[in-house]
Amino acid sequence: NAGVTQTPKFQVLKTGQSMTLQCAQDMNHEYMSWYRQDPGMGLRLIHYSVGAGITDQGEVPNGYNVSRSTTEDFPLRLLSAAPSQTSVYFCASSYGAGVNYNYGYTFGSGTRLTVV
């Protein structure tokens, strides 16, 4: 049981390049989310998903796309990287909203992205 796995751990992009941050979980969690964390700040929600085929925008969705074709995977795509997207990105998953569920989200170890 690996939990939430994020790849890559580090990435440097040039302005205008595109890339996909990968996130996979093996806990059969329905809910998955992407956050970004800037220095000295909290985590801000980018996009989230309550199940395969369902995604929605969070607090800061601009410049990012997501899809959820399987329960296990929730990739985050940067369409045209900008220096303002330099940040640490965290993926998280949870069982979801059910009476007997543990609602706490489990987080991956993060991807540190630098856009130059």
Binding residues for another protein (CB under 8 A): 4, 31, 33, 35, 41-45, 48, 50, 56, 58-59, 90, 92, 94, 96-97, 103-110
- The nearer residue to another protein, 23 or 115, going by C-beta atoms, is 23
Q: In sequence order, what are the residues at sequence separation of 6 or more whose Cβ sits closer than 8 angstroms to the Cβ of residue 16? A: 80, 81
- The CA–CA distances, whole Å, from 37 to 46, 62, 89, 110 equal 10, 15, 6, 10
SS3 84: helix
Q: How far is the CB of 16 from another protein (least distance, A)?
A: 29
Phi-psi region of 94 (alpha: psi -120 to 50; beta: other; left: phi over 0): beta
Q: How far is the CB of 55 from another protein (least distance, A)?
A: 10
- Map tokens 């806990």 to a residue: 27
Q: How far is the CB of 94 from another protein (least distance, A)?
A: 8
- The nearer residue to another protein, 17 or 96, going by C-beta atoms, is 96
Q: How far is the CB of 103 from another protein (least distance, A)?
A: 6
- The nearer residue to another protein, 13 or 46, going by C-beta atoms, is 46
